[in-house]
A = this chain, B = another copy of it.
Amino acid sequence: MKNSVNREIPDDLMKKYDYEGFKTTEIGNPEIQRVAPKVHVSTGDNKVVDSIKDVVKETVKDGMTISFHHHFRNGDFVFNEVMREVIDLGIKDLTLAPSSLTGVMNDMVIEAIKAGTITNITSSGMRGSLGDFVSHGGLKKPVIFRSHGNRARAIEHGDIKIDVAFLGVPNADKLGNANGMEGDAVFGSLGYALMDAQYADKVVLLTDNIKSYPNTPASIKQTQVDYVVKVDKVGDPDKIGSGATRFTKDPKELKIASTVNDVIVNSPYFKDGFSFQTGSGGAALAVTRYLRQAMIDNKIKASFALGGITKPTTDLLKEGLIDRIMDVQDFDKGAAESMHTNPKQQEIDASWYADPDNKGAMVDQLDVVILSALEIDTKFNVNVMSGSDGVIRGAIGGHQDAATGKLTIISAPLVRGRIATIVPDVTTVVTPGDSVDVLVTEYGIAINPKRQDLVKALSSLPGVPVYHIEDLQKMAEAKVGKPKPLEFTDRTVALIEYRDGSLIDAIREVKD
């Protein structure tokens, strides 16, 4: 069948996995029966063990679902150490359900797939060699990609039932009270991992830093933890930070950032008490800098900033330009340290951040959100998952979730090298055009025709030409030409869920 963004979803898979096709970005008011974990009661006074192997042997059985968080990003030591034991113990047919997969995990995942240890994967994304491997049919069953909010939803519904969660933390006490804020390998908010801690039947913490009991603030609580494994090092502090921590000097990126700022400032949402999510990367940091100046100039303060947090954002909090930071993830050490010292930076879990099946997530209250794109098409559909070669090389992250904001801006260059960013049809629909309002490029902006209010508000900004998105697409095509259509086999290697759990697209095996 074809879903409402005109994507062909294989009927056999729809049936097999009991899916509905994506229909609408509206969530409505369903009544949801939540699920709950099994608890193995323990009243002892020490959960610390030395051997990962012993814990794996004790907890992981064939066919189970195991999970990890990705807050250490490429500084993660936990995933590889645990999976080494899992593979060596000959455990088979596991479902791997981490909050996401980072590059440092790729080789181990591929080894585990080849060994038959991992036969199912659900993740926010994958990149590099693993994306390549999966795109070329390396995993028999399709990977299921879910946004951070959708993973929370799926866990709370029971669509993902985690048997054992292995969670690395920079500190924990003997019973498992832990946070992400102290120790060598700090990363700040434990936002994604809090779901696993609450819903997994068995929770195993790994840490290199056993603190005296009781360890507070306790983001993860002793009531949730079965084992605390003492390891030499949980992570490499130098590789935990994600991406750029300095403002870009690239004139194209600066132009886009300044235009994004123009769009925000001239929108009806830029007023005292507004809220925003900017994200990471040099361009996002530049937006934050422009926005800071605009807030000072216009005497406007924000009620909250959301999403992956960086130091420039926590500086705004310190400066009093933002009243609260709602923090599901920190992208640099500065942001992590700020969470430790500033009580106005509130740690939130992925459900509070973005679960659509909730009594209200933070993303529902977002005014302004700036998101990136690998591709955006003339229907404003956005792809952040597959490259123009059809190979998986991205992550949904909070993209679908934050796109619910009142003003959703996609910031993207017209072309990247010889590849158009604006295309007639994205290779993979991740975020439906219905939830996208403005596209900002270095040449100008395009406004979703559904938003005539924004067309009116933004159509006469000096230095900000407004195009029809089709014209921007043609400009891009004029620059880099029309690419040869991609060739895929009939086999589906990945399914893309929308945040409500319906299917928004499928990724097929790349034909070499």
Contacts and interface: CB of A to CB of B under 8 A. Distances in A.
Interface of A: 27-45, 47, 156, 175-176, 203, 212-214, 216-218, 221-226, 273, 303-304, 323-324, 326, 343-344, 346, 351-352, 355-362, 364-365
A363 to B, nearest CB: 9
Given A223-B361, A365-B175, A40 B29 contact: yes
Contact of A176 (B32, B47, B212, B359): B359
B38 A33 contact: yes
Contact of A213 (B214, B217, B355, B365): B365
Given A32-B39, A175-B360, A214-B346, 18 more contacts: A27-B43, A29-B41, A30-B41, A33-B39, A34-B36, A40-B359, A43-B356, A45-B364, A45-B365, A212-B303, A213-B303, A213-B304, A214-B304, A214-B324, A214-B326, A216-B343, A218-B346, A223-B361
A173 to B, nearest CB: 10
B44 A360 contact: yes
A210 to B, nearest CB: 14
B356 A41 contact: yes
Main secondary structure of the interface of A (DSSP, over half): loop
Contacts of A218: 346
A176 B356 CA distance: 17
22 contacts: A29-B41, A31-B41, A33-B39, A34-B37, A35-B36, A36-B36, A39-B156, A39-B357, A40-B359, A41-B358, A42-B358, A43-B358, A176-B359, A212-B303, A212-B323, A213-B303, A214-B303, A214-B324, A214-B346, A216-B344, A223-B358, A343-B343
B33 A36 contact: yes
A366 to B, nearest CB: 10
A352 B220 CA distance: 12
Contacts of A346: 214, 216-218
B36 A222 contact: no
A223 B43 contact: no
B359 A222 contact: yes
A226 B38 contact: no
A70 B358 CA distance: 27
Q: Ordered nearest first, which 7 A-B pairs have the shortest CB separation?
A: A34-B36, A36-B36, A216-B346, A43-B364, A222-B360, A32-B39, A223-B352
Given A326-B214, A365-B175, A365-B213, A359 B225 contact: yes
Contact of A29 (B29, B42, B47): B42
A74 B88 CA distance: 62
Given A223-B359, A359-B226, A32 B43 contact: no
Contacts of A222: 352, 359-360
A36 B33 CA distance: 7
Contact of A41 (B45, B175, B359): B359
B41 A28 contact: yes
Contact of A216 (B32, B43, B324, B356): B324
Given A346-B216, A355-B223, A27 B41 contact: yes
Nearest to A158: B36
Contacts of A41: 27-32, 356-359
Contacts of A36: 33-36
A57 to B, nearest CB: 18
B42 A31 contact: no
A58 to B, nearest CB: 13
Contacts of A28: 41
A350 to B, nearest CB: 11
A398 to B, nearest CB: 16
A488 to B, nearest CB: 36
A42 B359 contact: yes
